[in-house]
Amino acid sequence: MKLQRTYGVILAATLLLLSCDDQVNWDLKYQELDLIVVEGKITSEAQRHEVRLTRPLYEMNGTPEPVTGAQVEIYDGRELHSLAEDPERPGIYGTDSLFAAVLNQYYQLRIIHESKRITAVTNMREVTPFQHMNVHPVQSDPLLLEVYISDSDEPAIVRLELDWSHLPGYELLPDSATHAVIYHYTLNGVDVNKIFKPAQEHVRFPPGTIVFREKESVNGWYGEFLRGVLSETDWRGGMFDVLPGNARTNMEGAAIGFFTAADVLRDTVVVQ
């Protein structure tokens, strides 16, 4: 009986090995949707804030087509702020230079383009102080340092711009050899893919490097959008991977993308 089972297994394996593979050409079709891609952010800093409107891309490495001639407004509950399109940059709509968002205030973005009516609501949370920046040596001759940024106690994005072009021996080097930018995201939620995200580039720099720090708060809606973007980019390939698709959006109407408000904190430190 056991011998018959053995022969049966061998026969099945042989048939599988001798089976032929037929090539199948899939005619994949997609539907180009009539959507507007919105990228908008306002902050607590008094400056010109921009909202970018483009068409979706359906090919890799393409250039998005700007959406021109739209009516773009931001309503803060009391006043309606009109955004003017930049004549030199089609699809870019900006506030005046005195506009600044206020903490715990809700803002509604309104877009009218042809027959489309698009809205989005956001609010601004207070940014917390900078988290600890741990610097440790990674090379002794010459001495080079590396920085590790701990997570923030609240959702936030930290941007570090490092500059050591002023130090002796580095003055004549190109910018790519004397400057670096590091981003650190702290997002709420159970992000299992974060465990499996690829290793980030290690930036090594000499003592005396100037670090320009910027930290911005992240509200719940924007945090969901960022988690979606990271799941499709930096965090791809994990055990609990996601199907490719658009990130979550807070747009209402024929649009995708985001509109958010952020409280911003800046400072400058010299790393020794």
pLDDT tens, 187-205?
Answer: 875 444 444 455 566 899 9
Which tokens go with 117? 């009516």
- The tens digit of pLDDT for each residue in 120-176 reads 999 999 999 998 888 999 999 899 999 988 888 899 999 999 999 999 999 999 999
Coil/strand/helix, residue 78: coil
In this structure, which amino acid lies at residue 239?
M
Across the chain, what does the average pLDDT equal? Answer: 84
Q: Higher confidence at residue 142 or residue 93?
A: 93
The rounded distance, in Å, linking the Cα atoms of 53 and 255 is 10
CA angle 87, 79, 94 (to 5 degrees): 20
Indicate the helix (H) or strand (E) that contains 223: helix 220-232
Q: Higher confidence at residue 17 or residue 81?
A: 81
Cis check: omega of the bond before 142, within 30 degrees of 0: yes
Q: Is 2.60.120 the CATH number for 36-123?
A: no
In which residue ranges of the chain is CATH 2.60.40 found?
36-123
The rounded distance, in Å, linking the Cα atoms of 128 and 266 is 11
Neighbours of 197 (CB within 10 A): 16
The rounded distance, in Å, linking the Cα atoms of 128 and 61 is 37
Question: Residue 34: what pLDDT?
Answer: 86
The rounded distance, in Å, linking the Cα atoms of 108 and 83 is 13
pTM greater than 0.75 (yes/no): yes
- The tens digit of pLDDT for each residue in 103-121 reads 989 999 999 999 999 999 9
> Is residue 145 packed enough to be buried (19+ CB in 10 Å), middle (13-18) or exposed (0-12)?
buried
DSSP string, 13-68: HHHHHHPPPPP------------EEEEEEEESSSS--EEEEEPPP-STT--PPB--
In 3D space, the residue among 67, 30, 29 whose CA is nearest the CA of residue 51 turns out to be 67
Tell me 153's DSSP state: S
Q: Higher confidence at residue 11 or residue 135?
A: 135
Beta strand pairing status for 80-85 and 71-75?
antiparallel
Contact 83, 73 (CB under 8 A): yes
